[in-house]
Amino acid sequence: MKKLYPLTIAILFISACAPPGTGGGESSGMSFAAIMPFVLIFVLFYFLIIRPQTKQNKERNEMLKNVKRGDKVLTTGGMYGRVINVNEDEITLEIAKGINVQMVRSGISSVVTPEKENTKSKGGK
């Protein structure tokens, strides 16, 4: 089955590139075989680019929505901090003892979990 897929694509592409016939029963200007490569390219883009990107955006929005007080986070600027206060779109991070920074919620890159922290310290980097 996997060997038939490239052959099918090649046949459809070659038939789409063929010049239109002069006679015959085809009345429309564009046949189904001529549109097929564009449909296949769109399907390929959907499954390889659009669908994974929307899934990743949904997971990120869910993570940002669930940030709560006491979570350790990594900011997009590369700083680690602990969430002190959460407002609607603003959060307050403690990046060092006594040093608090206010930032926008979307500035959080990820929430650091204890198992991520342990692998970070064991890795040495």
Render pLDDT for 103-117 as a digit per residue (tens, 0 to 9).
999 999 999 987 766
What confidence tier does 26 reach under pLDDT thresholds 50, 70, 90? low
Q: How far apart are CA 53 and CA 82, in angstroms?
A: 28
pLDDT at 6: 67
Task: Tell if the pTM clears 0.85, that is, is over it.
Answer: no
Q: What is the mean pLDDT of residues 35-57?
A: 93
**Average pLDDT over the chain, rounded to whole?**
83
List of residues 6+ apart from 103 with CB closer than 8 A = 75, 90, 91, 92, 93
Mean pLDDT of 92-96: 95
The residue assigned the tokens 């694509």 is 9
Q: Which pLDDT band holds residue 85 (cuts at 50, 70, 90)?
A: very high
